[in-house]
Structures are given as structure tokens and as C-alpha cells.
A and B are shown apart, each in its own frame.
Chain A
Amino acid sequence: SQQGEEDPQALSIQEGENATMNCSYKTSINNLQWYRQNSGRGLVHLILIRSNEREKHSGRLRVTLDTSKKSSSLLITASRAADTASYFCATDVSGSTLGRLYFGRGTQLTVWP
């Protein structure tokens, strides 16, 4: 079953604008990860945030985590056409020793030049 849900399902913006995607999940986690997937391709790891972290940055990416609300957000600043892709959050659930990831359905981001 999919424990994470991204919101919105689709997002369309102009180049240069910021894009914000949200993720909600259901159970306690070890960490939460964001991945990008270009159409028909594999997943590219973007960033991992641990359960004891609240915010993390990587280049134009900013991720926040609120474990009390069981939610995370991914902000892409100054977006580019090349950022067009599907973005997935994935959770590593607490109590699991195996590290399997639970993915949401993703947010389809389209950045228009």
C-alpha cells in the first residue's frame, strides 16, 4: 500500500517561479526521501531528511519535515524547464529493519519556458 500522498497531483508554472509540493504520510518514519522521475525513466534521488531534522537544503531544493503533522514539503526555487518531471516522496517506516520505501503517487511538475 502507498503510505505517502503528494499534493498537488499536478503543478504547472513558468520558468523562474518557485514550485512547492507537499507530502503527507501515515506512520512514524526513520527518514523521508524525495525522488524525481523524468517520463519513462528511473528515479533520481534528490534529498533525504531524517526524522530528527526539520529542514534541509541542497542547491535549489529546500525540504521541510513536520513529524507532528506527518508532512513534508519540497520547494524548488527559480525553476527551469529541465525541472519538468514527476516528484515522489518516499518514507522509510519506523520499526522496519529492512529499509523498504513507501512511495506516494507523485506530483507532476511542468515548467514552461
Chain B
Amino acid sequence: DTGVSQDPRHKITKRGQNVTFRCDPISEHNRLYWYRQTLGQGPEFLTYFQNEAQLEKSRLLSDRFSAERPKGSFSTLEIQRTEQGDSAMYLCASSSGYLGTGGRQETQYFGPGTRLLVL
């Protein structure tokens, strides 16, 4: 399977615990995005990597959230001291950053997501 993969697919944790999610993008995709999706809503942007550099962080990403992409390959998203409001689907996407003659034509390919439930 050459698509975006995420692990784990489901995570149940108690409030106050730390959790870490992993995303493996499509190989050779230099751009990697994290989104969060709550019930009944569309995905909301959290952060973006180009290769190993984290270039943008949403205001949704509080100090309890940290993301890394060592060596520009896989990425991890860690949530410290989880709160019930962190319960959501965390989605990872990758793209090649293609620029066509008509401007950016970047397709983001999403993984299956990690569903987090904080009790």
C-alpha cells in the first residue's frame, strides 16, 4: 500500500495522559499536513511541514501539542496532558507541492485518521 498511513487508528486515553500519533506520508512527498476533525465538522488545519521544517502552526495548536518530522519522512503529533476537548479525529495528509502552468494544483492525500477519545 503506497498511500498515507496513520497509527494507531483508535486511541482511548484518560484525561491528563500524553498520547502520540504517527503519520507515514506517501514516499517522496515533501509536504505533510495535520488536521483535526470534530463530529459534524470539516477538517481544520493544525500544522504543516515542508521536508523537516515546520512552517506553520494554527492557533488551534496549543502549547500542549507538538509535532515533529525528523529527516523529512514520517511525522509524529504529541498531545500532552490530554483534555476531553481534544477528542477528535486527527488526520494527516501529504502532497508533492506540484505547481502547474495554471498555478498550484496540489492534491493532498489523506490517511485514514486516528480517532482519539479522552475520558
- A residues sitting closer than 8 Å to B (CB atoms) are 2, 4, 30-31, 33, 35, 40-45, 48, 50-53, 88, 90, 92, 98-106
Contact = CB atoms under 8 A, between A and B. Distances in A.
Nearest to A104: B42
Given A42-B110, A43-B91, A88-B42, A52 B55 contact: no
Contacts of A4: 42
Contact of B103 (A30, A43, A44, A105): A30
Contacts of A98: 48, 50, 55-56
Contacts of A40: 89, 115
Interface string B62-106: 000000000000000000000000000101010101001011111
B111 A101 contact: no
B104 A99 contact: yes
The residue in B41, B42, B100 that gathers the most chain A C-beta atoms within 10 A of its C-beta is B42
Contacts of A103: 35, 42-44
B109 A51 contact: no
Name B's interface SS: strand
Contacts of B33: 99-101
Interface residues of B, number: 34
Given A42-B110, A100-B56, A50 B105 contact: yes
B22 interface: no
Nearest to B33: A100
Nearest to B56: A98
A48 B40 CA distance: 23
Given A99-B31, A101-B45, A42 B112 contact: yes
Contact of B42 (A31, A45, A100, A105): A105
B113 interface: yes
A99 B50 CA distance: 11
